[in-house]
Each structure stands twice: as structure tokens, then as C-alpha cells.
């Protein structure tokens, strides 16, 4: 059987190809027949450009139906899709394009000169604008469709996706057709996707969440997608009644909660709200349930592995936990000596399964470091597994604060802060401290109309946490720095607060 991910999608296409595969808010739509024909034509074009199977196609384009066709065309023709965040600027792009060494770049017409200057010798540059105009679709219109999906082995690369780089230099994760197929089949089963579903897709296509999880679940189940160009709370609220499933990062849900129109009536057609990519605050889970009657389903994944664990479709969705391992995925927790730890103990989260990537592009040393001697992937996340198998994440290993020799898991302190009535969001970091090595620092966003005082917050936490976990300083800010996926940029916070204890003795 052809292990090409597109072949898996093709098998799930509905018998009636006139059914809608993808719709846009402006009223445009592509049937499954049009999705098939359009991606086959683009694949035919790519094949005539002299690319060889395995060659990279670097893509920085606005989100559109044509961008989806381009992704599918790369799969069909056996090329490696390399999506680029549209926020990246020249220096970042130059580094990433040099590393990926693509044979073709597709970019927004406005960036054609920039890519022309940074593309490697022999690499072609084509353009695709948000309305589908540009040289790519014009050339495809005059091309013959690729007659058949190229045969790929499950170990062949499908996507080169760079880690989002909130902690240092990005690394290119090599994701195979087999990784994507195994993960998407597990998700379709776990989340009950079927042809009757319509997915509200507001996520970017340059990240695992929107690309493999969002597009993947819809296309592997013959469902349809409502493709929004970006997240806009009012537009999402207006689109909800036509959708059955929504996927988002926690910030999408906190922004939706700020919309007065979010209520039970707005969500009557929706069967499932899924959250991931960053921790979902239990207060957000509770507020969303209160307003809409829906318990959000939180899951845990990453660029290198796709999705790993999920709260159940049927069964307890535990706030603060990322749920149980997906079918085929094994999860264990290890201590600093690398030995597996018992239930309840906190350590590094390690994973094994067909979803785990093939290593980092052209970085054999980093690839080797990412795996244990017995073949488990070290996630760099810390957490614990309850006796009944639910996993809870307590932070990134790099974010762990060691104060006076004691480990402080930032997420535990953040949860305690977010449980205070005046606190909307919290981020906890370590700052260099002359006595303790590092000291706990909290950066907090207040709830609307609340004016919490630093001393009051510190006092309240002293009742709830061991003294060494209580922040020595609490900074109240209007907004936390976040990347496009809603992840708090802790590196930025650490830089901002690095000198907190350098010159003066802190209060508390």
C-alpha cells in the first residue's frame, strides 16, 4: 500500500465528490472533486519543475485555500513541505532557507525579491497571494495534472517543520508520512471525527496544530473545513453556528470569553472544543463551561511528535491535565538519573510511538541527544502521571526554577496564582539571586477592574504553597509576551527581569 499521507486522505474522500471539502468565510468553497483536481494540477506543475522526490519546498504564504492545495500537491508529488511562519523577517528567513536548502520557494508576491536574494543557487521562487493570484497558480492553470499520487514509504519525509524557537535556535524536525498517518488516524478515532463534521480552522498552517492536526483530522475523515484566514474573536463567534468542532490555543478561548455574545445558543451546533499548544488555565476551562455548557478537551503535542495525549471524548476531562496517551503512544516520566519514576512523581516526560519524528535535519548530534539509549524521545517537558494514567505538565525542563537547591515547577505556582480572584494570567520564571542561585519571580496580568497589590498576592500564596515556591517578586503587567501559538515567551521575561535581585533586597 502507498504510505503517502495523501493516499490516506484519498481513501477517506466521500463517495460524493461534490461535497464541500473546504469553505471560506467570504462564501467560496472547494468540493472534494475540486480539491483533488486542484492539488493534482499543482503537483503536476511541481513535477515539471525538475524537483526530485525528497526535495524541499519552502513556503511562506498567507493562509488560503490555494495554500492548502500547495501542501497537498507537495505530498502527492513526494516533495517535502517546509512551511515558514509569516512573522519571520529577513534574518530568520535567510537562516531557515539556508538550512532547509529548498529546490523551490513559494512566497507572497511582496516577498519575492527578498527570497530571490536569499534562495540557494538553482532554487526557483514562485509567488502566491492571499487571493490566489501570483505566478504559482498561473503556471498551474497551464499544466497537466499529476496522474497518480507518488508512492512513498512510511519512513520518507513529508514535512520539515522547524521548532518554534522560543528556547534558542530552531531545529528542523523531520516528519515522515508514517508519523503523520499514524497520528491522524489516532486523532480521528480519539476525537470521533466523521464526514458530518465541519472544523472551524482559525490556526496558522505553518505550525503542527493547524497543519497536521487541523487539516489532517478533517481530510482523513471526509469532513469539511471552514478556513478562516486568522483568529479574530468576532469572526470566530459568527462562524461557530456553522461548525461542529473548533480547535484553538488557549488564548483563542480567553479572547472568545471576552465576547459578550459567547453563550450556549452560539455553540448549539458544536460538539467539541479542543485546546492545546500551551497550558489551558483551569479558570478558563471553568468559565467556558459556565458560559457555553461545553467542557473543553485539552490535549498535548509538539512539533517533533504531533499529538501525544488527550483528555477523552467520552469520560472525565480533567482541568489542568492533558489527559491519557493516544492509541499507540507510550508515555513515561523519568528522574534526573534517567530512571522511570512511579505514578505521582514529577520528572521529564518521555515518549515512544509511531508519531515520533525521524530526528533533526542535518543535526545528528542534536538528534542523538533527543533520544534515550533505549529509544524514548526526551520532550524537555516536566510532568507527572496520576495513578489512573492522566498526565499533567508542570513546565519545560529549561523553565524549571532551582531556588536554594529546591526544584520549583513554574506551572504549579502559575496555577496557584491563577486561582486568586484578582489574577487573570500568570507566568513564573527564575531570576538570578545572590543567595538562592535563582529566585521565583511572577509576572501577572490582573483581571479586568482588579488592582491586586504585590504584597497581597505574595501573602495569599504563602497560605497555599511551600515558602520556597512563593515568588519573591510579583510584577503586574498589562499583557504577557506570547508567540503566534499563544506560548508565553519566557526567554523574554527572563531577560526583562534578570536584574531583579542584582541591586536591592527584595520585599517578602
Q: Can you tell me which of 58, 149, 244, 277 binds ligand AMP, judged by CB under 6 A?
A: 277
Comparing CB distances to ligand AMP, the nearer of 44 and 279 is 279
Q: Which is nearer to ligand AMP, 24 or 367 (CB)?
A: 367
Q: Which residues, at least 6 apart from 365, have a Cβ–Cβ distance to it below 8 Å? A: none
**Residue 164 in contact with ligand AMP, rule: CB under 6 A:** yes
Q: Which stretch binds ligand AMP (CB under 6 A): 3-11, 103-111, 216-224, 275-283?
A: 275-283
Query: Is residue 276 a contact residue for ligand AMP (CB under 6 A)?
Result: yes
Q: How far is CA 171 from the centre of its chain?
A: 15
Q: Which residues in the 463-502 window bind ligand AMP by CB under 6 A?
A: 485
The three-point CA angle 90-95-100 to 5° equals: 120
**From 21-29, 124-132, 272-280, 425-433, span contacting ligand AMP (CB under 6 A):** 272-280
Q: Which 282-301 positions form the footprint of ligand AMP (CB under 6 A)?
A: 298, 300-301
Q: And the C-alpha cell for 120?
A: 540557494
Residues 11-50 that bind ligand AMP (CB under 6 A): none
The answer for 362, left when phi > 0, alpha when psi is -120 to 50, beta otherwise, is left
Q: In the set 379, 392, 394, 500, which binds ligand AMP (CB under 6 A)?
A: 379
E-assigned strand segments in 404-505: 406-408, 423-433, 437-446, 473-476
396 binds ligand AMP (CB under 6 A): yes
- Residue 185 Cβ vs ligand AMP, minimum distance, rounded to whole Å: 20
According to DSSP, residue 406 is labeled E
Q: Which is nearer to ligand AMP, 123 or 203 (CB)?
A: 203
Of 303, 460, 325, 443, which is closest to residue 370 (Cα–Cα)?
Answer: 303
CB 35 within 8 A of CB 69: yes
Q: Is residue 322 close enough to count as binding ligand AMP by CB under 6 A?
A: yes
Q: Does 96 bind ligand AMP (CB under 6 A)?
A: no
Per CB under 6 A, the list member of 127, 183, 254, 303 interacting with ligand AMP is 303
Contact code string over 104-133 relative to ligand AMP, x by CB under 6 A: ------------------------------
Among residues 137, 219, 302, 385, the one that binds ligand AMP under rule CB under 6 A:
302
User: Alpha helix (H) ranges present in 312-362?
Assistant: none
DSSP-H helix ranges across 130-264: 135-141, 177-191, 208, 216-219, 233-239, 250-257
Q: Which three cell numbers stand for residue 138?
A: 498561473
What lies within 8 Å, CB to CB, of 154 at 6+ separation is 3, 176, 177, 178, 181
- Cα angle 346-347-348, degrees, rounded to a multiple of 5: 140
Q: Is 163 in the site for ligand AMP (CB under 6 A)?
A: yes
- Contact flag: residue 208 with ligand AMP (CB under 6 A): yes
Q: Does 310 bind ligand AMP (CB under 6 A)?
A: no
Nearer to ligand AMP, 332 or 396 (CB): 396
Distance of CA 447 to the CA centre of its chain: 26
* Per rule CB under 6 A, count of chain residues that contact ligand AMP: 18
Q: How does strand 124-127 pair with strand 172-176?
A: unpaired
279 near ligand AMP (CB under 6 A): yes
List residues near ligand AMP by CB under 6 A.
Answer: 163-164, 208, 276-279, 298, 300-303, 322, 379, 381, 393, 396, 485
Amino acid at each position: 500500500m502507498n504510505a503517502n499521507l495523501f493516499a490516506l486522505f484519498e481513501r477517506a474522500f466521500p463517495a460524493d465528490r461534490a461535497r464541500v471539502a473546504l469553505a471560506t468565510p467570504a462564501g467560496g468553497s472547494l468540493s472534494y472533486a475540486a480539491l483533488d483536481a486542484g492539488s493534482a494540477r499543482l503537483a503536476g506543475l511541481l513535477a515539471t519543475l525538475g524537483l526530485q522526490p525528497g526535495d524541499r519546498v519552502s513556503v511562506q504564504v498567507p493562509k488560503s485555500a490555494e495554500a492548502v492545495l500547495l501542501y497537498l500537491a507537495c505530498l502527492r508529488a513526494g516533495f517535502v513541505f517546509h512551511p515558514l511562519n509569516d512573522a519571520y523577517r529577513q534574518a530568520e528567513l535567510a537562516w531557515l532557507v539556508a538550512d532547509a536548502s529548498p529546490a523551490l520557494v513559494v512566497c507572497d508576491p511582496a516577498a519575492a525579491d527578498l527570497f530571490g536574494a536569499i534562495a540557494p543557487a538553482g532554487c526557483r521562487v514562485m509567488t502566491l497571494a492571499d487571493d490566489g493570484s501570483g505566478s504559482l497558480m498561473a503556471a498551474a492553470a497551464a499544466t497537466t495534472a499529476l496522474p497518480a499520487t507518488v508512492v512513498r514509504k512510511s519512513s520518507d519525509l513529508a514535512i520539515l517543520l522547524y521548532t518554534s524557537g522560543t528556547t534558542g535556535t530552531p531545529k528542523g524536525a523531520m516528519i515522515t508520512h508514517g508519523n503523520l498517518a499514524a497520528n491522524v488516524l489516532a486523532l480521528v478515532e480519539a476525537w470521533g471525527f466523521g464526514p458530518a463534521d465541519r472544523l472551524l480552522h482559525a490556526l496558522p498552517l505553518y505550525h503542527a496544530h493547524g497543519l497536521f492536526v487541523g487539516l489532517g483530522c478533517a481530510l482523513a475523515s471526509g469532513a469539511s473545513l471552514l478556513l478562516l484566514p486568522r483568529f479574530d474573536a468576532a469572526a470566530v463567534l459568527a462562524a461557530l453556528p456553522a461548525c461542529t468542532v473548533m480547535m484553538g490555543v488557549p488564548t483563542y478561548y480567553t479572547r472568545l470569553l471576552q465576547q459578550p455574545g459567547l453563550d450556549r445558543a452560539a455553540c448549539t451546533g458544536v460538539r467539541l472544543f479542543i485546546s492545546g499548544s500551551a497550558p489551558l488555565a483551569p479558570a478558563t476551562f471553568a468559565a467556558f463551561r459556565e458560559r457555553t455548557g461545553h467542557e473543553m478537551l485539552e490535549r498535548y503535542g509538539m512539533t517533533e511528535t504531533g499529538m501525544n495525549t488527550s483528555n477523552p471524548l467520552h469520560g472525565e476531562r480533567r482541568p489542568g491535565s492533558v489527559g491519557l496517551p493516544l492509541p499507540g503512544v507510550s508515555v513515561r516520566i523519568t528522574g534526573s538519573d534517567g530512571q522511570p519514576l512511579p505514578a505521582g512523581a514529577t520528572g521529564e516526560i518521555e515518549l515512544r510511538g509511531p508519531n515520533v519524528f525521524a530526528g533533526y535535519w542535518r543535526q545528528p548530534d542534536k538528534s542523538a541527544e533527543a533520544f534515550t539509549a533505549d529509544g524514548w524521545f526526551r520532550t524537555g517537558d516536566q510532568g507527572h502521571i496520576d495513578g489512573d494514567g492522566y498526565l499533567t505538565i508542570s513546565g519545560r525542563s529549561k523553565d524549571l526554577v532551582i531556588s536554594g537547591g529546591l526544584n520549583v515547577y513554574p506551572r504549579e505556582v502559575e496555577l496557584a496564582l491563577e486561582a486568586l480572584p484578582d489574577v487573570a494570567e500568570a507566568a513564573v520564571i527564575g531570576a538570578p539571586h545572590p543567595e538562592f542561585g535563582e529566585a521565583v519571580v511572577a509576572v501577572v496580568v490582573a483581571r479586568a477592574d482588579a488592582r491586586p497589590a504585590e504584597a497581597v498576592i505574595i501573602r495569599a500564596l504563602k497560605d497555599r504553597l511551600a515558602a520556597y515556591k512563593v515568588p519573591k517578586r510579583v510584577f503586574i503587567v498589562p499583557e504577557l509576551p506570547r508567540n503566534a501559538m499563544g506560548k508565553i515567551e519566557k526567554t523574554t521575561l527572563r531577560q526583562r527581569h534578570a536584574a531583579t535581585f542584582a541591586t536591592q533586597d527584595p520585599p517578602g
